Amino acid sequence: METFAGLGYGGLFLASFLAATILPLSSEVVLVLLLMQGLDPVWLVGIATCGNLLGAVLNYFLGRGGARLLARRFASRLPAADSRALRIFRKYGVFSLLFAWLPGVGDPLTVVAGGLRVNFGLFLLLVGIGKLARYLAIGGFILFS
């Protein structure tokens, strides 16, 4: 994570983008390291949110493009996280996307949303709100503690 932090704002964007995919990265750690270095918190929160949201958009379009293939070939063998995300999405609907930042189930939720062809504008709004709220909470905690 220190490697990403060493790249400043660009490193945070990259870490945030990659963390929203299936890669096991923690953009929160990079955000905290950069906040502790004294970089502008407004820019940091904005960049982290944008990077993470763009990663979720990639997941959405992967889900949208691969939905038919997955349904035909792998429906009975969905990975546990994808299966759990589908159950959550069916139970709570599109508002489950507010929690797309949660570890383990958040990224699969964005793939499921694409596969179910959720309205893209609504997807951006809900996922964006959730991810922004998470980074604001982390930033506020670090700055005011």
Q: Which letter does DSSP use for residue 23 in this model?
A: S
Q: How far apart are CA 38 and CA 29, in angstroms?
A: 15
| Amino acid, res. 65 | G
16 pLDDT more than 70: yes
Domain boundaries, the chain: 2-143
pLDDT tens per residue, range 41-83: 999 999 999 999 999 999 999 999 876 665 554 444 455 656 7
Q: How far is the C-alpha of 114 from the C-alpha of 111, rounded, in Å? A: 5
Query: What average pLDDT does this structure show over 117-145?
Result: 94
**114: nearest Cα among 105, 124, 104:** 124
Tokens 């996307």 belong to: 97
Question: Which pLDDT does position 9 carry in this prediction?
Answer: 95
